[in-house]
Structure 1
């Protein structure tokens, strides 16, 4: 036998451009399965013609990703780039497919602001499987392919050819069915944020650019003229608790007509529940800063610059302000006022056993040792009035079952998983409704604490930051772009507790307020209602957005 017969077979070398296009093909076809699934449900794309358009659109997605990856098909660069793209595409495919989310800029802000506890609730075996099958395995295969050496000039020429060819193919496919493409994108704009993984990187870039545009230094001053002007300087100071969110949708409040008794304790108290309230956004990152702005949603979305907020105005007027958090933070709202987290004990009294486990607290922890927190505020400010903001965990998903203690789960069986799509929908609703019942209990206990504060005229406002989807139209959680968001994500509860003694002190006609329960309202009204209740005067105050203004009795 000849010696040459024992020589190893020559190693096949691959072109970096070929591997990049193979990755584009893999991601375009497989990692975009939520996009293809969504498009198949569109009535306009039913039948053979619709299937043909979806196939054409898939070709456009592959061509676009191939063109962009061609520019990066350099031997020492493209493998790390493909690894990042494949893993990002696999993760995005999981979340879009499991919860019906899209990768728009608002969602990327949510991703960037997610803390360790929220991340832990999102981990699941399905996420691991997606990362492994759609991301890691193809990435390992690509990583092991040896790359053929080529001169710099030849590589540049081939990469440019791949880029131009990909763009030409995409434009050609688009022009071949332009009418259908334009109509589909116009009627379903959220589809563009499901193109995976390009949408994630595009949205991340938008967030980075917007963040870079923000001027350096402190936020612009708002309400420089804010001052406290009580109707009766000799009256008792006011104590207002403002509980903000979390993730409560109006449709599941029995106070608003829901068939289940999700508000058993509040139903026995003299509270007002306003039924037609629209949120500023569909996520905490979008809604919370907007709620505390005096601008209103439309102007807030256009203003761009970083500004002070309601809490700054209250503090400038000389009131005592405290933000208590049991969430992932105040999104910068409380940076310039006293603030604390529920896990931080107020005094020497430790938190009761079982209230906080694994670094996460049930919302009743917000009430622990609250008298000590109140007394720790500046005494001179306390004599003018106190605004205590509570930011509870509320009904934050997907682990709804964690939001209520074992002894307070009236609706059974409940979904005990964070993979909501794997549970029967009625179990998902049970877990969510149990969290609403617990929120009802927290609100009732807060009202009980307020009733014991004899040195103040007291009141409470509760308003959710956004709603939640519980499987309607195969959507879960929240964060759908506002223009196409379902009402389950945009309609939120607003509950007011104003005891008659406080109503008289504030000069508010309670009967008049009750006649406003079905009045269309929005987050725009919150800041101005608080300014009115706190007796803070400023040029930013708009009486037409003060819930109490129309019902105030003439002096």
Structure 2
């Protein structure tokens, strides 16, 4: 690092001020755009609010960087913040997402295939011009800190001035600021790159709030119920875990387009008032397989075993097939198979496999499970690629695209509303085809098993409504389309008789409010697994059982 005298104007403070000013202004373009779209920049008071926000972000960044303005930390911290600000600005502008703890977890758990789907020339340009170029300038700028004692004073002084600016900006605009943040909570997640810093801090401090090294046992008293009597057929229950499917885009739920041509010909029951546990896979999947429910799961202080552990402990064979980005720890203690990277002449292309790959060779996979458990029954989970965006066009083979022309770019805002809906609805129609194939496979096993299928998606999706795309908004502010999910059930006659489930009653519950909170208990009920953790009131099928 080149040295220049502090008196020559090359002290750390100048670099802190310059980078903080750039990020607080240009780096917060998504915030200014959101304020404009909300009509908050149409008056002098609105511009005053924007100025106060800029000053507050600037002051917070000055305080943060000043505390770390030492020889070996100054430039790495500034470069990290610049890159985070550039990346955050791109995705917040491109898809109108916000950045919080769950979004950061999504980023950290993204696999190479998902990351490739998000690459675009626009993203590269933003990262280069908004992140890499300023980072290069920071790295090339010669800085000479003062002796450590004097530098400590400088750093603390600058940090106090930065905090004073934050306090002054908040006090100067307290009334409009508090009103705006109360009425438009999403704005607090647009303060760039403070949103990323806060999210990173929450993720890093999670071990202090929850002991992830301990896994508490669950359902240690689990056993099979009376329907598993000697001589009875064993159950074969298929759980299809959907991805990014909106309940409102299913023709079974009243959607005006023929997105369910196959399922509409089958005796399925579709519940159209089902709600997710989260707005992203990392939050929803572990939550829906938990016994805790959404609120208790979010505030848990320790991790527990899940639905699959209880089913396996009761004596059933369990198998998880994953055609997505992993099971998020849910399948860690049961047999599991990754299918997304398999090679198949017709079911895989460009390093990705379409969902029917999970049906290929399935009989052999089940036959490889322990015979003693298999003879008692099988719980099979298939985790779809489904409607994973933004590259919806990649989720469907060309021969199965029903709605054209479709959006064939990840820059969703560049597509017309019709093209975007066509691309997304193609994924729903292909899921319909896959589910019908899965039911066909189950029907082939009715002679030896009582078979059933339950399809539930992990979360929904925004398709440009209110200029929002994709998913992952904080649950409290997320639109309903990101939280309302399909819940579809198919029961073979043998399974319905085994469970004494009334089909007319199930159909009559189409508008009953249910959620992922019911999933754990509903599956245990369908499997007739008896355990003290099972709560009949949270079994969505219990009201129609025994009629």
Tell me how far apart the structure 1 counterparts of residues 63 and 156 of structure 2 sit (CA, whole Å).
Answer: 9
Which consecutive unaligned segments of at least 5 residues does structure 2 have?
1-6
1:471 Cα deviation (Å)?
A: 0.8
**What is the 5 A alignment of 1:404-443?**
404-443=396-435
Cα deviation 1:396-435 (Å, max 9, x = unaligned) = 0110000000001111111111121222232111111111
TM-score, length-normalised on structure 1?
0.94
Q: Aligned-pair distance for 1:524? A: 1.0
CA distance in 1: counterparts of 2:105 and 2:72, whole angstroms: 31
Deviation at 1:45, TM superposition (A): 5.5
Deviation at 1:12, TM superposition (A): 6.0
**Unmatched 5+ stretches in structure 1:** 1-10, 346-350
Query: Could you tell me which of 299, 311, 316 is aligned with 1:319?
Result: 316
| 1:265 corresponds to 2:265 | no
Structure-2 separation of matches of 1:444 and 1:60: 55
Distance 1:55 1:215 in 2: 42
Q: Indicate conservation of the 8 Å contact 2:341/2:353, yes or no.
A: no
Partner of 2:391: 399
CA distance, structure 2, for counterparts of residue 477 and residue 340 of structure 1: 27
> CA shift at 1:47, angstroms?
2.6
What is aligned with 1:544?
A: 537
Aligned pairs, number: 539
Q: Secondary structure at the match of 1:241?
A: strand
Q: What is the deviation of 1:43?
A: 4.5
Counterpart in 2 of 1:4? Answer: none
Q: Provide the C-alpha distance between the structure 1 equivalents of 2:305 and 2:396, rounded to a whole number of angstroms.
A: 34
User: Partner residue of 1:91?
Assistant: 87
Residues 174-218 of structure 1, C-alpha deviations (whole Å, 9 max, x = no match): 111111112222222332221111211211111111135443645
Residue 356 to residue 218, structure 1, CA distance change in 2 (3 Å):
farther
1:65 to 61, 64, 71: 61
1:286 to 283, 286, 290: 283
Q: Select 1:517's aligned residue among 489, 510, 513.
A: 510
Structure 1 position 237 matched with structure 2 position 267: no
Q: Distance in 2 between matches of 1:546 and 1:145?
A: 63
Q: Which of 319, 322, 330 is 2:327 aligned to?
A: 330
SS at match of 2:302: coil
After TM superposition, the structure 1 stretch with the greater mean CA deviation from structure 2, 142-151 or 443-452, is: 142-151
Mark the CA change 1:217 to 1:146 in structure 2 (over 3 Å): closer, same or farther: closer
Paired residue for 2:165? 169
Q: Aligned pair 1:209/2:202, yes or no? A: no
Moved more, 419-428 or 240-249: 419-428
Q: Distance in 2 between the 1:179 and 1:263 partners?
A: 51
Distance 1:387 1:74, change over 3 A: same
**Shift >3 Å, 4+ stretches:** 43-46, 211-214
TM-score, normalised via structure 2 length: 0.95
Q: Rate the CA distance shift 1:527–1:35 in 2: closer, same or farther, 3 A.
A: same
Inter-CA distance 344–186: structure 2 relative to 1 (3 Å threshold): closer
Aligned pair in 2 of structure 1 residues 134, 216: CA closer, same or farther (>3 Å)?
closer
- Over the aligned positions, Cα root-mean-square deviation in angstroms equals 1.6
Q: 1:363 aligns with which of 346, 355, 359?
A: 355
CA distance in 2, matches of 1:293, 1:140: 46
Of the structure 1 ranges 66-75 and 26-35, higher mean CA displacement relative to structure 2 is found in 66-75
Equivalent of residue 100 in structure 1, options 69, 72, 96: 96
> Does the C-alpha gap of structure 1 residues 31 and 94 become closer, same or farther in structure 2, counting only changes over 3 Å?
same
8 Å contact kept, 1:226–1:316: yes
Offset at residue 145 of structure 1 (A) = 2.2
Deviations 1:104-157 (A, max 9, x none): 111111111111111111111111111111112222222222224533333222
